[in-house]
Amino acid sequence: MSDLPYHPKPGDKIRLKDFDPDDTGGYNKTRGQEELKSLQTRMAELQEMMYAQGTQALLVVLQALDAGGKDGTIKKVFDAVNPVGVKVAAFKQPSAEELAHDFLWRIHQQAPPKGYIGIFNRSQYEDVLIVRVNELVPKAVWEKRYDQINHFEKLLAETGTHILKFYLNISKDEQKERLQARLDNPDKWWKFDAGDLPVREKWDSYMAAYEDALTRCNTDHAPWIIVPANKKWYRDLVVTRTIVETMETMGLAYPQAKQDLSGVVISD
């Protein structure tokens, strides 16, 4: 897994300034979109096998700053797969019931069952990101959560769930353009949240929090992929290609029939 593009080696200190959000890997948009279409076809084939086999799961975690493209990535990357075999969970501000449990309680409930692709729009990492930056709990609390997240992800991996975690890496200038585009289009006002603006003012604090999360929770069984995300078409290509390459290693195949069907005749 460590040889995948944009996947830093576990144990390396991650500095986001070393990753160019404008990178396109030598692709142009036309070539990238052509390859994406081919990869989507293959993903649909592999997903059908995984669903039929029912012995493994795939968890795709998407993290990004506001306007980073989480919703768009889900819509585009998984456009061709059968929605029956996909479960999407979007983690908002926790409810009173969720706050009455440990921070991973609500996360574990949304882990994909065997045979499914699970997609997390935000995730357990909010509890070492927004919670840390906004000082919602003491440092002594959130500091322990890196190890707790690693143990949780190892549990999932050891019980049949393959994990891919994508940080959609956009620049501060690109975020401003996307937020302004929402503000300029009344049809997009529903996506604009004035609460995003104070978050933007804490950009440097979020970068530091992300770097710690990416560094401390980057493992062979649950790797982080830092996706150049300023160009949406290349973002989608990198995410799709990484998912397909991972699924190709899972030994997916259609299960054998439970009985010999060679002599079965369907009557008129």
pLDDT tens digits, 173-212: 999 999 999 999 988 888 887 777 888 899 999 999 999 9
pLDDT digits (tens, 9 = 90+) for 49-70: 999 999 999 999 999 999 999 9
Is the pLDDT score of 263 beyond 90?
no
**Residue range of the domain that includes 113:** 16-248
Residue 102 belongs to some domain of the structure? yes
| The overall pTM is greater than 0.85 | yes
Q: What is the mean pLDDT of residues 61-83?
A: 96
Q: What is the pLDDT of residue 197?
A: 80
pLDDT digits (tens, 9 = 90+) for 143-174: 999 999 999 999 999 999 999 999 999 999 99
Average pLDDT, the chain: 94
* Percent of the chain predicted with pLDDT > 70: 98
| pLDDT band of 4, cuts 50, 70, 90 | low
Residue 30 belongs to some domain of the structure? yes
Residue 257 belongs to some domain of the structure? no
- CATH classification of the domain holding 134: 3.40.50.300
Residue 98 belongs to some domain of the structure? yes
Is the pLDDT score of 126 beyond 90?
yes
Q: What is the pLDDT of residue 61?
A: 98
Residue 22 belongs to some domain of the structure? yes
Residue 263 belongs to some domain of the structure? no
Higher pLDDT, 257 or 46: 46
Cβ contacts of 240 within 8 Å, gap of 6 or more: 36, 39, 40, 43, 77
Is the pLDDT score of 41 beyond 60?
yes
Alpha-carbon span 256 to 125, nearest angstrom: 39
The total number of structural domains that make up the chain: 1
Q: What is the pLDDT of residue 258?
A: 81
Say which residue the tokens 């036309």 belong to. Answer: 30
Residue 2 belongs to some domain of the structure? no
Alpha-carbon span 157 to 159, nearest angstrom: 5
Q: What is the mean pLDDT of residues 107-131?
A: 98
Residue 129 belongs to some domain of the structure? yes
Is the pLDDT score of 1 beyond 70?
no
| pLDDT band of 2, cuts 50, 70, 90 | very low
